[in-house]
Amino acid sequence: MSIPKQMLKEWCETYEEAIETLDYLANRSVGTAKEEIREGLEDFFIDNGLMNEEEFKQEVEENE
């Protein structure tokens, strides 16, 4: 089952609600969603030169 993007937009009425939802998925859920979000963040920060791999791992481990 796929949830339409428009429904998600309506559900997260504000930017803050969207961030809270991402925070839950990235830090409190288990399984595929959490891993995909972590991989996406890792790719973004490392590929854009914002962090190296070691810095990313350290930042994530500090917040676990």
Sign of CA dihedral 18, 19, 22, 27: negative
Q: How far is Cα 15 from Cα 40, in angstroms, rounded to an integer?
A: 20
Helices assigned H by DSSP within 1-64? 5-11, 15-27, 32-47, 53-62
Sign of CA dihedral 8, 14, 23, 29: negative
- pLDDT class for 11, splitting at 50, 70, 90? confident
Q: How much is the mean pLDDT over the chain?
A: 88
pTM to 2 decimals? 0.68
Q: How far is Cα 26 from Cα 35, in angstroms, rounded to an integer?
A: 8
Q: Where are the domains of the chain?
A: 5-62
